[in-house]
Amino acid sequence: MEPSKKRAEKTSRRNFLGQALTAAGTAIAAPAIINQTTAAKEVIQSSEGNMDLTLTVNGQPRTLNIEPRVTLLDALRDRLGLVGSKKGCDHGQCGACTVLIDGQRVYSCLSLAVMQEGKAIVTIEGLAKGDTLHPMQAAFIDNDGFQCGYCTPGQICASVALVEEVKRGCASVVTQDLNRPPQLAELSEAEIKERLSGNLCRCSAYNGIVAAVQQVAGQKPPSPTATMIISELQEMPA
């Protein structure tokens, strides 16, 4: 056999074997690839699947169909239209989203909505009784406890929880005698500031906020009117 014919025979045989192996490999790999793709799609659909839940918000049951990853803050604002709770930092650092859950203050931006089923959720919208403001809401108005008002819903909810915590005998970091937690009537300014340290006010209306808590606690808050002392400068002798 001539060398050129031998090379052609070898080449054609090699091509044939390569094509056969490729076809066989494709036939073997195709079902695995298809199965992997189908499984991936099922995982994606499962991760994005919604679930039904019922939240008790301000005394009313509210049914939702949401993803498990939705925060309570987003559920309240975007799904239920309760926009009183504000989204400030969205990292649990400013307290603007504070709500009450079973009487405890909670950062709703750090809490998943699906975890709150069966619990009593109270937002700023649920504190008032009709046209009658909650005593803490009225105290914030009386003592000028807000300026822009963005953080005020969280401040008020936290202050309501603060009063209830003191009634239950909860101590704070600055409580001097842990065997005798402070009562509302003797709650110091330092105690109030420490217990509200998780709520930030960028307008710095802290004095009014403290005075509002003192009013609800039964104390006499300082006058919101600042006392100004004006003195004339005396001329220095030449």
CATH of the domain at 153: 1.10.150.120
User: Is residue 98 domain-shared with residue 147, that is, in the same domain?
Assistant: no
Q: 181 — phi, psi (to 5°)?
A: -60, 150
CB of 119 closer than 8 Å to CB of 128: no
Q: Which domain holds residue 198?
A: 129-222
Q: Read off the pLDDT of residues 135-148 as tens digits, 9 standing for 90 and up.
A: 999 999 999 999 99
Q: 61 — phi, psi (to 5°)?
A: -75, 130
User: Is residue 149 domain-shared with residue 217, that is, in the same domain?
Assistant: yes
Please state, in angstroms and rounded to a whole number, the distance separating the CA atoms of residues 61 and 51.
Answer: 16
* Residue 90 covered by a domain: yes
At residue 230, the pLDDT reads 46
* Residue 4 covered by a domain: no
Q: Read off the pLDDT of residues 190-210 as tens digits, 9 standing for 90 and up.
A: 999 999 999 999 999 999 999
| DSSP three-state, residue 88 | coil
pLDDT greater at residue 4 or residue 44: 4
User: Is residue 104 domain-shared with residue 175, that is, in the same domain?
Assistant: no
| b/e per residue 207-235 (b: at least 16 CB within 10 A) | bbbbbbbbbbbebebeeeeeeeeeeeeee
CB of 64 closer than 8 Å to CB of 75: yes
Please state, in angstroms and rounded to a whole number, the distance separating the CA atoms of residues 51 and 56.
Answer: 16
Please state, in angstroms and rounded to a whole number, the distance separating the CA atoms of residues 193 and 163.
Answer: 13
Count the neighbouring beta carbons within 10 Å of the beta carbon of residue 115: 13
Question: Looking at 126, 143, 178, which one is the last position of a domain?
Answer: 126
* Residue 32 covered by a domain: no
pLDDT band at 12 (very low <50, low <70, confident <90, very high): low
pLDDT band at 46 (very low <50, low <70, confident <90, very high): very low
| DSSP three-state, residue 121 | strand
Structural domain tally of the chain? 2
CB of 177 closer than 8 Å to CB of 186: no
At residue 221, the pLDDT reads 76
Question: Looking at 126, 154, 179, which one is the last position of a domain?
Answer: 126
User: Is residue 202 domain-shared with residue 121, that is, in the same domain?
Assistant: no
Q: 183 — phi, psi (to 5°)?
A: -95, 165
**How far does Cα 193 stand from its chain's mean position?**
21
At residue 140, the pLDDT reads 97
Is the whole-model pTM more than 0.85? no
User: Is residue 90 domain-shared with residue 151, that is, in the same domain?
Assistant: no
User: Is residue 141 domain-shared with residue 122, that is, in the same domain?
Assistant: no
Q: Tell me what the pLDDT averaged over the chain comes to.
A: 85
Query: Does residue 15 register a pLDDT over 80?
Result: no
* Residue 1 covered by a domain: no
User: Is residue 120 domain-shared with residue 162, that is, in the same domain?
Assistant: no
* Residue 89 covered by a domain: yes
Q: 122 — phi, psi (to 5°)?
A: -125, 125
pLDDT greater at residue 38 or residue 166: 166
User: Is residue 214 domain-shared with residue 134, that is, in the same domain?
Assistant: yes
Query: Does residue 86 register a pLDDT over 70?
Result: yes
Q: Among the residues of the chain, which ranges form H helices?
A: 3-47, 72-74, 135-142, 152-167, 189-195, 206-216
* Residue 25 covered by a domain: no
Residue with tokens 């909860």: 170
